[in-house]
Amino acid sequence: MCFGRKFNRRIKEKIRMKKHYDVVIVGSGLGGLVSAIILAKEGYSVCVLEKNNQYGGNLQTFVRDKTIFDTGIHYIGGLSEGQNLYKYFKYIGIIDHLNLKKMDEDAFDIISFEDENKEYPHAQGYENFVNQLVKHFPEEQTSIENYCAKVKSTCDSFPLYNLQWEGKYDSEILTLNAKETIDQFTQNEKLKAVLAGSNFLYAGIADKSPFYVHALSVNSYIQSSWRCINGGSQITKQLLKQLKKYNGEFFKYKEVINFSVENNKVTSAKMKDGTEVSGTYFISNIEPKTTLKMVGEQNFRKSFYSRIQSLEGVISAFSLYVVFKPETFKYINHNYYHFKNSTDVWNAHDYDENSWPKAYMASMNASKNLEEWADGMTFITYMKYDDLLPWVNTFNTTAEENDRGESYEEFKSRKAARFLEEIEIKFPGIKDCIKSVHTSTPLSYRDYIGGHNGNMYGYVKDSNNPMKTFIAPKTKLDNLYLTGQGINMHGVLGVTIGAVVTCSEIVGKEYLVNKINQASE
């Protein structure tokens, strides 16, 4: 599969790359672009280098049969006026230019199980969230209210999540396990499954996933949930416009292959095509394991280098992109998290050939504000990188096209057919509505995004050992910084906050957070 060619035509690279910039940013994912704008607004000369044909990392979209598909951004939370992501996006200048559609107030997500014919809603607004679930669990109002209170209080203890520069979170919060914490609120097994039902948002693992990751993930969606009309690449487009406005520069087909280091400082970044650019500061928005290799093992403490290289990546995904025949399948303004069995909520990633897929997320692209019929639909399920072992030595992107071979195509077709059988059970008759089917595998994510083994969300966070996955945004090299989903938190909000943390190391946290708050006043 290729992540679209259409998007970048309008932004022509007429600019020639200079020899030196104040800030050189490697990778144009959300973290890199937000960092670029923050620093360009402060008057730094900024250059962003991207290896792909399309900017934006997981914000990329692609087109099949005139239908736009998102590769990573299926919905966004916290974008109502006054909410946290709204304020961040206001500061970077894009909030007023986004084309958004609010999802169903009473059910932005629906959790469903094949072993019973019922749908359980996650609703927007905490009061509404409680009210909608109480309809299904009338005895459990207190349990649901206590759960909501815990989610909110957990989020309140992260200062930057609430646009505060002061304060430190209680490190004990990091050791609370998500499944254990959710299970404490109720004896009702079905309610436990429903409350944890959207854990695909962070690839939940029963004995590892921390509750704070769950809370930070679901809270902003409960505040407000939105779809990007015509896809998430509009965010990239607006970010690049802002970057241009502040004289930032960006170049695609520029794959950085190594950094030169002298006297504990990165002096330049060297690209595959032989170009070299020097900088005062360097920010890496690519996979941290790769960054360290490109800088050179000898430039880091042995313990740090080996800790990062040994980190376990989050599982990857197999995605099915369906184009519908015109006016055959109704538009649905919510997502589904569907499980074969309610006991699979915490172990859907643990499958074999026969039990796959145990669960999936189903989401739709909005193509206009009022719509009756859907153009297409995306289904995502877990897939282990090891399932792709026969083809791991192949590489294929729009910028560097290669054929992975017939056996790979056969594998994808087989998996797509199996996945569709499962989907047909939940959505009877959907097969008759399909015009075409397209797929992506862990190798697509690996090659386009560059994540280790095609991981979805960076590294597996572990409530038993919270510091193991902690990576500071400032490395021990004087001028090398890290940003992106491998640092801090994944997701649109997590990565945006991560970019603020990274830039705070250069411009100062109090100063920057005050400026962000002032922009929304």
The rounded distance, in Å, linking the Cα atoms of 248 and 245 is 7
**Rounded Cα–Cα distance for residues 104 and 147 (Å):** 22
**Rounded Cα–Cα distance for residues 479 and 311 (Å):** 24
- The CA distance from 440 to 416, in Å, is 10
User: What tens digit of pLDDT does each residue of 211-268 get?
Assistant: 999 999 999 999 999 999 999 999 999 999 999 999 999 999 999 999 999 999 999 9
In a domain, 414, yes or no: no
What DSSP state is assigned to residue 315? P
Distance CA 219, CA 204 (A): 16
Beta carbons of 134 and 147 less than 8 angstroms apart: no
Q: Work out whether strand 265-271 and strand 434-440 pair parallel, antiparallel, or are unpaired.
A: unpaired
Tens digit of each residue's pLDDT (9 = 90 or more) over 12-42: 556 799 999 999 999 999 999 999 999 999 9
461, part of any domain: no
Q: Let me know if residue 369 belongs to a domain.
A: no
At a CB cut-off of 8 Å and minimum separation 6, what does 112 contact?
A: 118, 119, 120, 336, 337, 338, 339, 426
Q: Is pLDDT above 60 for 3? A: no
* Beta carbons of 35 and 25 less than 8 angstroms apart: yes
Expressed as residue numbers, the domain containing 94 is 7-62+71-98+229-312+466-519
What is the distance between the alpha carbons of residues 450 and 49, in angstroms, rounded to a whole number?
14
* In-domain check, residue 135: no
In a domain, 514, yes or no: yes
Residue 185 located in a structural domain: no
What's the structural domain count of the chain? 1
Type and span of the H or E element at 464: none
N residues, the chain: 521
State how far the Cα of 423 lies from the Cα of 433, in Å rounded to an integer.
Answer: 13
How much helix, strand and coil, in percent to the nearest 5, is found in the chain? 40, 20, 40
Return d(Cα 378, Cα 361) in angstroms, integer. 8
> Rounded to 10 degrees, what is the CA torsion of 123, 186, 202, 232?
0
What is the rounded distance in angstroms from the CA atom of residue 452 to the CA atom of residue 325?
A: 37
224 assigned to some structural domain: no
β 67-70/61-64 pair status: antiparallel
Position 145 in a domain: no
How does pLDDT run across 87-122, given as a tens digit for each residue?
Answer: 999 999 999 999 999 999 999 999 999 989 899 999
On the question of pLDDT at 461 being above 70, the answer is: yes
Bridge partner list, 284: 26, 482
- Give the mean pLDDT of the chain: 95
Residue matched to tokens 């815990």: 150
**What's the CATH code of the domain at 26?**
3.50.50.60
